Chain A
């Protein structure tokens, strides 16, 4: 496990001590987003699951989003909506496995500085309804694409940037499929692609504001780079 860690052991240990301050509050996440804080070696006393700072925080941010997606598709695959076709079911199993691969990859790569498993809240989703499941899947995939696109500029280490690039195109493939399942031909329509042919990007603050509706665990993202 330690050998697999992308992050050095020292760095992981240094960050680990901060996790003691991270409360496991069950209240709905209240997010305070701060800009990139250079003074990142000071302990943080705020409540909430602490993401760390710099690239570690961005990796934890990706890890959080992948946890959310993996949990969602695990539920979809466990109890598919009524009338699901064999092809649709196989797609959802594939996507579930991709998101789990992403989640477990980040957990291993971040090592001791990884945030814990987040408690999710899908009470707004009707898992028995194809429309509700597809609408939520579309929201998550488009959000994921915009999150990775928007985080790229905040990443300092090129190897993390390339990893983000390797994942975001898979999320975009998911997004296009889900959109086509809702309405064939909407894979890249003008709700996500602008007049210059560019996809959407969102800052971590914008993304977490949307994602927090589905996350029960309180997050401490005050040192997460943002803009």
Chain B
């Protein structure tokens, strides 16, 4: 990636460049260099310390988490790429526009994570978006496609959230993961609005998650929303807090905090989609 080369060039000339780079750019640089195959000794000081931090505190962990994230992004990217390309699937206009925006983000996430991991990046699995026939019409029926899009995004939000603590040893990687996480949440919000506008079982769907499985899709997606109905955070019962005209409602308590998922739970959710 050119950006990587440019920043490296600057750094060779001026080793204190980190102090003048804005944090966002510095974060990007630290992230992009994460997977490059250079020994610490050969690297300029600032870059070397980033590396040491990443590897000394959690060898393997950060890389494993990034490959886990990459696998999810591969799934999402291919899903939207196939969906947008399927003729007659997505109505032209705002719907196709939104799906194209989301497709682009997911492909950008794949490219970014692959660059960061370099040779350590896992390769793309083969996907079966029908999940063995359970969603046989996924690329022919817009509502099936929308339903899967929503649950993939809600899963992605939970998946990144579940890995945040594991990335604390590398602040730059953590920041990037957080910046992907909130984009997935923006996607989820929009897809939920799109499903609501289709009516039927999704007629009352909100941009946020109410209780556990609020999708109207059925029990097949229960695991994706398991635990989202949690009303207690850090030992504080949210429904005992004062709201307007009484305590915070149970719905608001569950909506106001999204819940993380473990990698194991996420992998169990996506496994049926891996051929």
* A interacts with B: yes
Q: How many angstroms from the CA of A110 to the CA of B28 in the assembled complex? A: 33
The verdict on B67 contacting chain A, using a C-beta distance below 8 Å, is: no
> Which among B24, B157, B259 is the interface contact of A201 at CB below 8 angstroms?
B24
Please, what's the 1-or-0 string for A67-94, where 1 marks a CB less than 8 Å from any CB in chain B? 0000000100100000000000001001
Binds A, one of B6-14, B127-135, B185-193, B211-219: B185-193
Contact of B233 among A96, A148, A166 (CB under 8 A): A166
**At the interface, is chain A mostly helix, strand, loop or mixed?**
helix
Q: How far is the CB of B206 from chain A (nearest CB, A)?
A: 7
Q: A104 to B238: give the CA distance in the assembly, Å.
A: 8
Q: Does A101 contact B (CB under 8 A)?
A: yes
Q: Do B185 and A101 touch (CB < 8 A)?
A: no
Residues in A whose Cβ lies below 8 Å from that of B97: 185
Contact across chains for B109 and A98 when beta carbons are under 8 A apart: no
Interface: A170 (CB within 8 A): yes
Pairwise interchain contact B178-A168, C-beta atoms closer than 8 A: yes
- Asked if B249 CB lies within 8 Å of chain A CBs, one says yes
Q: Total contacts A to B, CB within 8 angstroms?
A: 207
The proximity string for A residues 137-178 relative to B, scoring 1 for CB distances below 8 Å and 0 otherwise, is 000000001001110110100110111011111111111110
Tell me if B253 and A197 are in contact (CB < 8 A): no
For B, the interface residue count at a CB cutoff of 8 angstroms equals 65
- Given the interface pairs A101-B253, A203-B23, the reply to whether A165 lies near B181 with Cβ below 8 Å is yes
Q: Is B234 an interface residue (CB 8 A)?
A: yes
Chain A residues near B255 (CB, 8 Å)? 94, 97-98, 170
Tier of interface size on chain A: 35 or more
Residue in A4, A173, A188, A203 whose beta carbon sits within 8 Å of that of B207 in the complex: A173
Residues A199 and B236 in contact, CB atoms below 8 Å apart: no
List chain B residues, Cβ under 8 A from A163.
233-234, 257
- From A159, A170, A177, A180, B258 is in contact (CB under 8 Å) with A170
Chain A residue contacts of B186, Cβ below 8 A: 172-173, 175-176, 187-188, 193, 199
Interface residues of A (CB under 8 A from B): 3-4, 6, 74, 77, 91, 94, 96-102, 104-105, 108-109, 145, 148-150, 152-153, 155, 158-159, 161-163, 165-177, 180, 184-185, 187-189, 193, 195-201, 203, 227
6 contacts between A and B (CB under 8 A): A105-B234, A153-B174, A161-B164, A169-B182, A187-B186, A187-B190
